[in-house]
Amino acid sequence: MNFVITTLLENCVYGRTLKAEHGLALHIQPEEGKTILFDTGQTCSFAQNAKTLNIDLSEVDYLILSHGHSDHTGGLSTFLEINRKAKVICKKELLARKFKNRRENGVTEIEKLDLGRFCFINRITELVPGVYVCPDIPLVHPEDTHFDEFFTEKDGIIVPDMFDDELGLFLVGNNRYAVLSACAHRGITNLLEQGKILFPNATPELLLGGFHIHTGGEEKYQPIARYLQGTPIQRIGICHCTGVDQFVRFAEDFGTKVFYNYTGRKICF
């Protein structure tokens, strides 16, 4: 199974016709079968970019939401207006109120959403052939977690957010797989550990997404870098909350394996 991944939205853009914002949205087109959108950015910009790139969002079959932050779910209402058929795949915890310190930072206007289109998952799910949604990310490496300053509401009480709503994505084919992350609050190394468990006979070839270390410094960069040194991953696509400065560090340490995954980029896997 082959896939084409198009970045509809990311923090950076090259060219005059596309828009960028702090957020992420990936369009995933399998060689055969149904199409997937992974997150929606924070505004309708992902939809404008899709139109520019000749991608018909009305034909998307599934929308996967990685977690409940507004820079990944802000375009949800726009998508549901454009697309009348797609199921929304996420964890039920995604709908809880979320905060960055005191600023509310979760899914907006929940009361206006058609929750009948939502499918809440709590175990590894092969959504379409070769596309696995992973809702369980155990904290094998607790040093690679990114919870500071984030809170959520549980039973009417504001508590530290452990990102129980977060999920990752695996694309699998020909004895190899790609790992897609939106923000990796629960740690990109912990998601990679799940890949080793779920697909022991396949090789991880591509790692793509955000690692949430843009303000983390050495203490957050080094655990990831050390882990990646011991993996066979051949391509590392860095974007969004990883940070451009940290991209430079990865490029210094991993050379041509690393690329920046900007708005409009297409990746074949």
Q: What is the pLDDT of residue 16?
A: 86
186's tokens: 């629960």
Res 26: pLDDT: 98
Domain ranges of the chain: 3-261
Helix (H, G, I), strand (E, B) or coil at 9: strand
What would be the CATH architecture of the domain defined by 3-261? 4-Layer Sandwich (3.60)
Interatomic CA distance for residues 57 and 37, integer angstroms? 8
Report pLDDT for 148. Answer: 95
| pLDDT (0 to 100) of residue 155 | 94
What's the predicted TM-score (pTM) here? 0.97
Going from the first residue of the chain to its last (269 residues), give the mean pLDDT of each consecutive group of 10, the final group possibly shorter.
Answer: 95 94 97 94 98 98 98 97 98 97 94 94 97 98 97 97 98 96 98 98 97 92 96 97 96 97 97
Distance CA 137, CA 237 (A): 20
Place of tokens 């799940």: 194
For position 31, what pLDDT does the model report? Answer: 87
Q: Where are the alpha helices (DSSP H) in 89-211?
A: 188-198
3-class DSSP state of 258: strand
CA–CA dist 154, 138 (Å, integer): 20
Dihedral in degrees, nearest 10, Cα atoms 267, 253, 241, 115: 50
CA distances from 130 to 2, 156, 188, 238 (A): 9, 39, 20, 23
Residues in Cβ contact with 17 at an 8 Å cutoff, skipping those fewer than 6 apart: 52
